[in-house]
């Protein structure tokens, strides 16, 4: 086998259609997008039986999905938002590569899941700007909550990199002086301290598996100045 196994270019063709609307005196905005993608000669990184990583043209796949965005402003200073993304991703055909020589349990099959394609993800958000609660400025409140469905983080669907569905929330409060060019914000990211896998390596050939997790709960103070 040559020292470097060659691979070719991958090709992606995407068709997308969308709709943007505003109604109820521009207090409600709704955006919708639908797409379909043909992904041919996919470049995937797989590990050989002896542990060497190889980039190969694994085959073809199809990805279909849609995105919905809703924003409403029912009261002065109050904005409510919701977004939903859905995906349907699957392999259409696979090209066997003798250079991989993989055991059956880690081979990619037509039933394997495409990496980093959760079937759905949604975000709920609220922003409330209180302009007259304190003299001399406004208080801005923000909170959001995100849900992400089950996700495989590698092409071989390793159990060591599989991430079950999870939720994560963020919040902040800001002070925005009326006559100043600065503002200050106190925030918390990942308020529930939820840990989830974002990437990693799973090498069955040498029995080495590592996962990279998201950042833990973070508190902070941030400032902004305009010139």
- Where exactly are the structural domains of the chain? 11-225
Q: Are strands 53-57 and 166-177 parallel, antiparallel or unpaired?
A: unpaired
How many Cβ atoms are within 10 Å of 63's Cβ, its own excluded? 17
CATH of 11-225 given 3.40.1550.10, 3.40.630.180, 2.40.170.20, 3.10.20.30: 2.40.170.20
pLDDT category, 205, cuts 50, 70, 90?
confident
| Average per-residue pLDDT for the chain | 91
> Of all residues in the chain, what percent are helix, strand and coil, respectively (each to 5)?
0, 65, 35
pLDDT category, 1, cuts 50, 70, 90?
very low
pLDDT of residue 133: 82
154 φ, ψ to 5°?
-145, 165
Q: How far is the first Cα of the chain from the last one, in angstroms, to the nearest whole number?
A: 61
pLDDT of residue 52: 78
Give per-residue pLDDT as tens, 93-146. Answer: 988 776 666 666 677 888 899 999 999 999 999 999 998 888 888 999 999 999
pLDDT of residue 5: 74
pLDDT at 164 over 70: yes
* Mean pLDDT score, 68-93: 96
What is the spatial distance between Cα 82 and Cα 224, in angstroms, rounded to a whole number?
Answer: 27
Measured CA angle at 120 (ends 83, 23), to 5 deg: 25
């Amino acid at each position: 086998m040559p020292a470097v196994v060659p691979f070719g270019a991958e090709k992606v063709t995407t068709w997308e259609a969308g709709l943007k609307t505003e109604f109820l005196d521009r207090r409600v905005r709704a955006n919708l997008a639908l797409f379909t993608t043909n992904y041919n000669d996919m470049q995937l990184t797989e590990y050989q039986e002896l542990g060497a990583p190889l980039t190969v043209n694994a085959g073809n796949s199809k990805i279909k999905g849609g995105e919905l965005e809703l924003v409403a402003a029912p009261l002065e200073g109050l904005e409510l938002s919701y977004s939903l993304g859905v995906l349907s991703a699957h392999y259409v055909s696979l090209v066997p590569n003798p250079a991989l020589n993989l055991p059956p349990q880690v081979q990619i099959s037509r039933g394997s899941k495409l990496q980093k394609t959760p079937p759905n993800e949604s975000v709920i958000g609220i922003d409330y700007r209180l302009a007259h609660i304190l003299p001399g400025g406004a208080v801005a409140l923000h909170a959001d909550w995100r849900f992400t469905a089950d996700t495989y983080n590698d092409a071989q669907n390793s159990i060591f990199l599989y991430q079950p569905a999870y939720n994560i929330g963020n919040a902040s409060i800001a002070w925005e002086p009326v006559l100043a060019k600065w503002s200050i914000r106190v925030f918390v990211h990942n308020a529930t301290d939820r840990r989830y896998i974002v990437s990693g390596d799973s090498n069955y050939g040498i029995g080495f598996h590592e996962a990279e997790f998201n950042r833990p709960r973070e508190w902070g103070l941030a400032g902004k100045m305009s010139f």
